[in-house]
C-alpha cells in the first residue's frame, strides 16, 4: 500500500494550511493550559520543538510525545465544530478516497476482529467516534448476528450511520447516557491522538465493557519511524487536531492503570517508509544521507524489506492495541 492510495498529498497540505489559519482565527493562545503527560500523568518532560503556538514535549517517564500548552477541553470542542478545516477534512480529504479507505483500512480491521475474536460474533459492539460507520458496516458483513452501535457526536454522520441501520448514540463518550453498556467489544480508531484527556477516555472505556470484554484501538505512535525521522516536519504532528503520540510502552502503563489486560500491542503500519520517501523526493526534506540515498537508489525489495523490519519490530507510527477487561 502507498500513501497515495488512501490520501492525496495535495489535499493533506491544504488541510494543514486551513488548520493553521483556523488556529489563528478561532483560538486564543492566552487561554491555553499546561498539562502533565496525558497518558501516564507524569509532569517531567523535555521540550522538543514548537509547532505554531504549541510546544511539543516528550514525557520522561513513558516517552509519550504530546502538545502542551493546549486549548481547554471546551475550546477544543467548539473548535472542532466551527473550524472550516474540519469540513474540508470530511468533504475534500476523506470523501474522495472513501472507498479506497474502506477496502484498504476498514475491511482489514473488520477481518482482524473477526479472526481474533470469533466468540464475540453475536455480541454487542460499539465504535466510539464511528464517523460514517464504515468499520461497523464491514464488521456487520462478517458478524450478521452482532449488534452494532455507533457512538458519534456529528449530526451529519449520525444520520448517515442511522441510514445504514446502525444503532446510534449521538454524543461523545464523556456524555454517554447511563445504562448504554455493557459492550462485548468497544473500538476507537484514530481517536486517541485527538483527545484532551486520554486517561479519562480509557477509564470510561473500561467502565462500559462487560467483564471479559475487549477494547481495540489504533493511534499514532510517537516512536514510529516516519515521525522520528521527519520530527518537527512530520505531518501528523498537527496540534490541535493531534495532541497525543503515545507508544507501545506508554500504552502498557495506561492500560495497567485502568485495570485492562494487554492482549496485543503491535504496529501493523505499511506506510512509514513511503511517507519518508515522499518527504525526501516530493517535498525536498532532509531525511539524512542514508535514507536520501535509499529513496534515490534503493531497490523496491530493499524498501519493502525496510518496511517489513519497521512493522516487525513495533516501530511503525501506526499502532494497534487490543486489551481485555478481566473476568
Report the distance separating Cα 128 and Cα 7, nearest Å: 23
SS3 state at 185: strand
Which residues lie closer than 8 Å to 310 by C-beta, 6 or more apart?
Answer: 225, 267, 269, 272, 273, 316
pLDDT, one tens digit per residue, over 32-46 is: 999 999 999 999 999
Alpha carbons within 13 A on the beta-carbon side of 33: 12
pLDDT, one tens digit per residue, over 189-226 is: 999 999 999 999 999 999 999 999 999 999 999 999 99
Q: What are the residue ranges of helices labelled H in 3-72?
A: 3-6, 9-26
pLDDT at 308: 97
**184 has pLDDT over 90:** yes
DSSP 240-285: TT--EEB-HHHHHHHHHHTTPEEEEEE---S-HHHHHHHHHHTS--
Mean pLDDT across the chain, nearest whole number? 95
Report the distance separating Cα 9 and Cα 11, nearest Å: 6
Q: What is the mean pLDDT of residues 72-93?
A: 89
pLDDT at 99: 95
pTM for this one?
0.95
Could you tell me whether strands 183-189 and 209-220 are parallel, antiparallel, or unpaired per DSSP bridges? parallel
Evaluate the omega torsion of the peptide bond into residue 172 and state whether it is cis, within 30 degrees of 0: no
pLDDT confidence band for 307 (50 / 70 / 90): very high
Q: What are the residue ranges of helices labelled H in the chain?
A: 3-6, 9-26, 73-82, 84-88, 98-101, 107-116, 134-142, 155-163, 198-208, 225-230, 248-257, 272-281, 289-297, 300-312
Alpha carbons within 13 A on the beta-carbon side of 278: 18
pLDDT at 282: 87
Closest residue by Cα to residue 262 from 324, 204, 327, 200:
324
**156 has pLDDT over 90:** no
Give the H/E segment covering residue 183. Answer: strand 183-189
Report the distance separating Cα 145 and Cα 4, nearest Å: 36
Q: Could you tell me the domains of the chain? A: 3-98+186-324 (3.40.50)
pLDDT at 188: 98
Closest residue by Cα to residue 65 from 39, 86, 100:
39
Within 10 angstroms of residue 302's Cβ, the number of other Cβ atoms is 12
pLDDT at 81: 79
Amino acid at each position: 500500500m502507498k500513501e497515495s492510495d488512501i490520501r492525496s498529498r495535495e489535499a493533506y497540505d491544504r488541510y494543514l494550511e486551513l488548520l493553521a489559519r483556523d488556529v489563528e482565527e478561532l483560538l486564543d493562545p492566552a487561554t491555553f493550559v499546561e498539562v502533565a503527560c496525558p497518558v501516564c500523568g507524569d509532569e517531567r518532560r523535555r521540550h522538543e520543538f514548537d509547532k505554531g503556538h504549541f510546544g511539543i514535549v516528550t514525557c520522561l517517564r513513558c516517552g509519550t510525545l504530546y502538545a502542551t500548552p493546549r486549548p481547554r477541553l471546551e475550546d477544543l470542542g467548539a473548535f472542532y465544530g466551527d473550524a472550516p478545516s474540519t469540513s474540508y477534512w470530511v468533504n475534500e480529504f476523506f470523501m474522495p478516497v472513501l472507498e479506497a479507505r474502506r477496502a484498504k483500512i476498514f475491511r482489514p480491521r473488520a477481518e482482524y476482529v473477526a479472526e481474533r475474536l470469533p466468540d464475540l460474533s453475536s455480541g454487542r459492539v460499539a465504535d466510539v467516534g464511528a464517523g460514517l460507520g464504515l468499520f461497523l458496516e464491514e464488521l456487520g458483513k462478517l458478524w450478521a448476528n452482532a449488534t452494532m452501535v455507533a457512538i458519534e457526536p456529528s449530526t451529519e454522520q449520525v444520520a448517515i450511520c442511522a441510514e445504514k441501520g446502525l444503532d446510534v448514540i449521538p454524543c461523545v463518550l464523556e456524555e454517554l447516557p447511563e445504562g448504554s453498556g455493557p459492550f462485548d467489544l468497544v473500538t476507537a480508531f484514530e481517536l486517541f491522538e485527538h483527545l484532551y484527556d486520554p486517561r479519562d477516555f480509557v477509564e470510561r472505556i473500561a467502565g462500559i465493557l462487560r467483564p471479559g470484554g475487549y477494547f481495540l484501538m489504533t493511534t499514532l505512535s510517537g516512536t514510529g519511524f516516519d515521525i522520528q525521522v521527519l520530527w518537527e516536519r512530520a505531518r501528523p504532528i498537527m496540534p490541535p487536531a493531534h495532541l497525543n503520540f503515545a507508544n507501545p510502552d506508554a500504552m502498557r502503563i495506561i492500560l495497567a492503570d485502568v485495570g485492562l489486560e494487554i492482549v496485543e500491542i503491535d504496529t501493523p503500519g505499511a506506510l512509514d517508509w513511503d511517507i519518508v520517501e515522499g518527504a525526501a523526493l516530493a517535498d525536498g526534506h532532509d531525511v539524512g544521507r542514508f535514507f536520501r540515498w535509499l529513496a534515490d537508489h534503493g531497490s523496491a525489495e530493499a524498501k519493502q524489506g525496510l518496511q517489513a523490519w519497521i512493522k516487525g519490530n513495533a516501530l511503525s507510527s501506526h499502532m494497534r492495541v487490543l486489551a481485555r477487561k478481566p473476568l
